């Protein structure tokens, strides 16, 4: 069985639907989880969907992903703009990573314009709300399928 895609969410994302809905929308994280799981199944992917308000827990999950996951979708929340530890963990994981933000971080405060996640990311999606997670899965399905085809060509 193929390894799952880890969909990891950082601080305050558990407050979706209640926290600043004009910026983040009215969908809850459980709503997003349902959409992600349904879309992943349609792509033939399994997902492990998690959220933590603790940087160290996110780092541990990213480290675990190196062996247990095929790829990572990461919305690190505010830790995007502050966490070298998350960057180091992503780099060490050596997996495809899609960075996702619900809001357009470039239309917001200037401190949100810098991402410590981006140097380790295969791609970045921002400003499209929860649809960004689905687009990240689409991209990862393509990336993972290309890797499978390349492996089959080398071994077949």
Q: What are the sequence ranges of the domains in the chain?
A: 5-155
Per the residue annotation, which of 39, 101, 116, 133 is the catalytic one?
Answer: 101
User: Which residues partner with 8 through β-bridges?
Assistant: 50, 74
133 is catalytic: no
The CATH-assigned architecture of domain 5-155 is: 3-Layer(aba) Sandwich (3.40)
Per the residue annotation, which of 6, 24, 116, 133 is the catalytic one?
Answer: 24
Residue 73 — φ and ψ, nearest 5°?
-105, 125
| pTM exceeds 0.85 | yes
Measured distance CA(55)–CA(140) in Å, rounded: 24
pLDDT, one tens digit per residue, over 7-60 is: 999 999 999 988 877 777 789 999 999 999 999 999 999 999 999 999 999 999
101 is catalytic: yes
């Amino acid at each position: 069985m193929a390894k799952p895609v880890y969909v990891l969410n950082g601080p305050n994302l558990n407050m979706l639907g209640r926290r600043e809905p004009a910026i983040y929308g009215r969908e809850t994280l459980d709503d997003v989880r349902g959409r992600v799981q349904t879309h992943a199944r349609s792509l033939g992917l399994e997902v492990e969907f998690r959220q933590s308000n603790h940087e160290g827990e996110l780092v541990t999950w990213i480290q675990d992903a190196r062996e247990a996951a095929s790829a990572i979708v990461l919305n690190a929340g505010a830790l995007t703009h502050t966490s070298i530890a998350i960057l180091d963990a992503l780099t060490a994981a050596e997996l495809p990573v899609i960075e996702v933000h619900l809001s357009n971080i470039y239309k917001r405060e200037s401190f949100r314009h810098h991402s410590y996640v981006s140097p380790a990311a295969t791609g970045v999606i921002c400003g499209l709300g929860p649809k960004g997670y689905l687009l990240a899965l689409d991209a990862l399905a393509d990336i993972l399928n290309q890797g499978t085809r390349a492996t089959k060509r080398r071994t077949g």
